[in-house]
Amino acid sequence: MTDAIKIDVWSDIACPWCYIGKRNLEKGLAEASADEDAPAVEVTFHSFELSPDTPVDFEGDELDFLSQHKGMAREQVQQMLERVTGVAAEAGLDYHFDLLKHTNTVKAHELLHFAKEQGRQHELAERLMAAYFTEGRHLGREDELVALATDAGLDADAAREALQSGRYLEAVRADQAQAQAYGINGVPFFVIDGKYGVSGAQPAEAFAQIVRQVWAENREPADVDA
């Protein structure tokens, strides 16, 4: 039995391309799962903060943030957000940048590590990204994060204790250190079986192709000297 392909995904819940990449990955894996010899795949999400210096309560909208913090003209930012919204729609996602509340995401990442321990990381990652990009929820606030954790099937009191204790911050920093060691400076970034790196929100077909390729490689018999 060939071991499952491991896909490690570095992302930030406040990264619009990360949610698109997540959805495209899921579609690609679903496509490959219909194969007669379907690849077995395990996906794990890892922490990456795009803007770790962002305050919890940023005064202003996404246009303000990108124009102030990235030195971009508001007109340029507006065009960029319209483009991203269009690409998101193609992936089946309904982005609302007009509702978005820019915030620091470190606590959301801590909660994702708690969810990973509880076997609910995928559910929470989906819930957080949907809340941030489509519902305008404030993901820097403890009460909001706890509410979203319960939506993902986690215990509210345990989620709150995990956030207040800060005990998952070390795991967040370890993910970030691993990203630095890999030379990852932008997300989403996908590491396939520890040997292939895929950068950016690739189309679903690209993800289907690479898991099929890696699955076939892993099933090839090792060369044995006569």
* Residue 224 resides in a domain: no
**DSSP label at 133?**
H
For residue 69, the model assigns a pLDDT of: 78
Given CA atoms 193, 194, 196, 197 in this order, what sign does their dihedral have? positive
pLDDT tens, residue by residue, 52-99: 999 999 998 889 998 887 788 999 999 999 999 999 999 999 999 999
CATH number reported for the structural domain that contains residue 67 in this entry: 3.40.30.10
Mean pLDDT of 158-177: 98
User: 182 pairs with which residues across the strands?
Assistant: none
Give a yes or no: residue 139 inside a domain.
yes
**Residue 32 is part of which domain span?**
5-219
pLDDT score recorded for residue 223? 53
**Residue 226 is assigned to a structural domain of this protein:** no
Whether the predicted pLDDT of 224 surpasses 50: no
For 10, the token pair is 């570095």
pLDDT at 28 over 90: yes
SS3 196: strand
What share of the chain in percent tops pLDDT 90? 90
pLDDT at site 222: 60
* Whole-number pLDDT of residue 226: 41
- Specify the number of domains making up the chain: 1
Q: Which two tokens stand for residue 200?
A: 């950016």
* 200: Cβ contacts below 8 Å, ≥ 6 apart: 17, 21, 186, 188, 189
Is the pLDDT confidence value at 20 over 70? yes
* 83: amino acid identity, one letter: R
Q: What pLDDT is attached to residue 200?
A: 97
From the list 137, 77, 79, 149, the residue with the least C-alpha distance to 110 is: 149
Q: Quick check: 31 and 205 in contact, CB under 8 A?
A: yes
Give domain status of residue 102, yes or no.
yes
pLDDT in tens, 90-120: 999 999 999 999 999 999 999 999 999 999 9
Has residue 100 been placed in a domain? yes
Question: What span, in angstroms and rounded, lies between the C-alpha atoms of 24 and 92?
Answer: 9
Please tell me whether the peptide bond between 52 and the residue prior to it is cis, using omega within 30 degrees of 0. no
Q: Residues of the chain with pLDDT > 70: what percent?
A: 97
Beta-strand relationship, 189-192 and 41-47 = unpaired
Q: Is residue 43 part of a domain?
A: yes
When the pLDDT of each residue in the chain is averaged and rounded to a whole number, the result is 95
Q: Which of 101, 99, 100, 125 is nearest to 46 (CA)?
A: 125
225 in any annotated domain: no
Residue 179 to residue 182: CA distance in whole angstroms: 5
